Structure 1
Amino acid sequence: MSNDKSAIETMKYRQSIRAYDTKKFSEIDYKRIKEYIASEDNLIGPFGNKGRIELVQITNNVSEKGIKLGTYGFIKNPQVYLVGLCENKKYSLLEFAFTFHKLVIYLTELGLGTCWMGGTFSRNSFEREIQLAEGEFIPCITPSGYPQQKQRVFDKALRYVVKADNKKPWDQLFFDGSFADPLDKVNAAQFEIPIEMVRLGPSASNKQPWRLVLSEDRQKCHFYIEHTPNYSTRLGYDMQILDIGITMAQFELACDELEIKGRWIVADPGIELPNSLTEEYMVSWTLD
């Protein structure tokens, strides 16, 4: 992250941008992005899984190879696409989303727009553009460019349709010691801001599938997934795992800025689950 900018403030104001200015990237912004995705440190997740991010320049939705890249009319005038690639495995997806969202926040800090896309694009067109290695697939992409200053009507309408500004309250998402007791902000101790950043994070169709349990000793935060029934099954992968990786990035970036020292671990605490949909423990953050 840029040293002179607050990741917390960036995460608060970032929103999905679907309408872009026709202005091309400046040389310096293009160079910064190329350097970011070329750095191996930026592509490796907390447990060592590594994804790949390819930068594709386009003009009128056509790449330099002459391939028309399809986003079903949702995106207007993007200058580039950042295309993610990883293995279709649980922790590969989780860690990939973690690293990809850090890129999204970095782009936002540069004044560039982004829009997480997991289902509303033509995978076939992007697979023809990029050479996939064995075992790789494209879980998501983001267009990027300079946001159009006058937001389009369709952009605002789409935000309304997906309820993009309607986030669930704390008592539906975060819990104190067990799923029986909702977590009150005043009891979140030093984790209040990192947990709020989780709440504000983007998710597919704004479903917000993350559920967090703060341990009674306030040393660990356990992340669970509450699946939306039949969501993304037609895509052949669990898109909602990406949402958990996004929240991990939001949480860690806030902790880093607040100098809360900790690390990610996979150690199921064995907490009784509240229902059949909250069926999966994912990861925990523990204080050092």
Structure 2
Amino acid sequence: MSEVLAAIRRRRSIRSYGDRPVEPSLLEQLLAASGAAGRLTRAPPRVALVSGVEQTRRILTYMVGSYGLVRNPPYLLVGVLPQESDAARLDLGYVLEQVVLEATRLGLATCWITGSYDARRAGDIVGLAPGEVAAAVCALGYPDEGRWSRLHNRTVRRLAGGHRRKPLTEIIFSERWGERWSPDQSDPVLVSVLKYARLAPSATNRQPWRFIVRSGHVALVLVRPAPIDGGIVMAHFALASAALRYAGRWEVQLGDGTLAQEYGLPKYASPVALWK
């Protein structure tokens, strides 16, 4: 399990890819990992693979210039919802981030893409059953190690704010919303788990999650409608907890009004889940 923690620390969003093909055995391993991944719902998402730059380019040219932000990925992992719902999107983030971290462990590069892609084309290419929705894609491959590609990765990462992370004391409260939390007065294992959760990627690195720590459980709250991001951070928390032996599991409580009142949440914040 220490390999999982190392993968969380190493993962970066890579936006320039080389021509080296990924070995078929590794692709098979990733698809198998998607089927074996932990899940949050009874009808989990599926992960499909798109191969070839010509195909990935068709999907990534939805917005003018968007393809240039992620250059030449030879593969895309396409996250497919069984049906549209916030719970399904939450589960997609949870499942696909586990695959992303497995790819990182195997030495592959990835980059989440949840906005600048053509969902209709992605669905047409992977084939959708009635009701299914292509809700996110993730670039996959070996990074281009050329000088200009490395510069491109650094530049876009800085523009996206990927080098910045909010401090733990800004994203964690004690008992109720707005109440100061101190790592010095918390379980050191939980503090370590929260540090790994803090490394989770999010759209434009907005880090829309907050945690409320209470005796016996941890609540996850979103401060903007971003269920995929919520699922991603839940995956980090769960994987780090398993590796560090912090007991518990997630109970999804999306939009629970009673919890919102109990925690004193502002109107823009919404409960997502409890770890207990």
TM over 0.5: yes
- Equivalent residue runs for 1:129-148 within 5 Å: 129-148=125-144
1:191-247 deviation digits (Å, cap 9, x = unpaired): 1111112211100011111010001x2x100001101xxxxxxxxxx5x11111001
How has the CA–CA distance of structure 1 residues 180 and 78 changed in structure 2, closer, same or farther, with 3 Å as cutoff?
Answer: closer
Q: Which amino acid aligns with 1:91?
A: A
Aligned equivalents of 1:169, 1:133: Cα separation in 2: 42
Contact 1:20–1:145, Cα closer than 8 Å, also in 2: yes
Q: Does residue 50 of structure 1 match 2:48?
A: no
Q: How many residues get paired?
A: 262
Q: 3-state SS of the aligned residue for 1:88?
A: coil
From 264, 268, 272, the equivalent of 2:250 is 264
Partner of 2:74: 79
Q: Is the 8 A contact 1:51 1:92 kept in 2?
A: yes
Residue 197 (structure 2) pairs with residue 201 (structure 1): no
1:234 aligns to what?
none
Q: How much does 1:174 deviate?
A: 0.4
Counterparts of 1:231-270 in structure 2 under 5 Å?
238=225, 240-266=226-252, 269=259, 270=261
Look up the match of 1:97. Answer: 93
> RMSD value over aligned CA atoms?
1.9
CA distance in 2, matches of 1:167, 1:203: 11
Q: Does 1:184 align with 2:182?
A: yes
Map of 2:32 onto structure 1: 35
Cα gap change, 1:266 to 1:143, in 2 (>3 Å):
closer
- Residue 263 (structure 1) shift: 1.3
Mapped contact 2:31–2:47 kept (Cα < 8 A): no
Q: Deviations over 1:56-94 (max 9, x none)?
A: 111x3336xxx8332422222212111001022111111
- SS state of the match for residue 16, structure 1? coil
Q: Does 1:128 align with 2:121?
A: no
Q: Decide whether the 8 Å contact of 1:49 with 1:95 is kept in 2.
A: no
AA aligned opposite 1:76? R
Match 2:60 to one of 67, 70, 78: 70
Identity %: 23
- Give the equivalent residue in structure 2 for 1:231: none
Q: Decide which structure has greater helix share.
A: 2
TM-score with structure 2 setting the length: 0.88
Aligned to 1:230: none
Is this contact kept in 1: 2:21–2:141, CA < 8 A? Answer: yes
How far did 1:176 drift? 0.7
Residue of structure 2 in register with 1:13 after alignment? 10
Match of 1:152 among 150, 153, 162: 150
Q: Match of 1:123, as an amino acid?
A: A
Q: For 1:261 and 1:49, how far apart are their aligned partners in 2?
A: 25
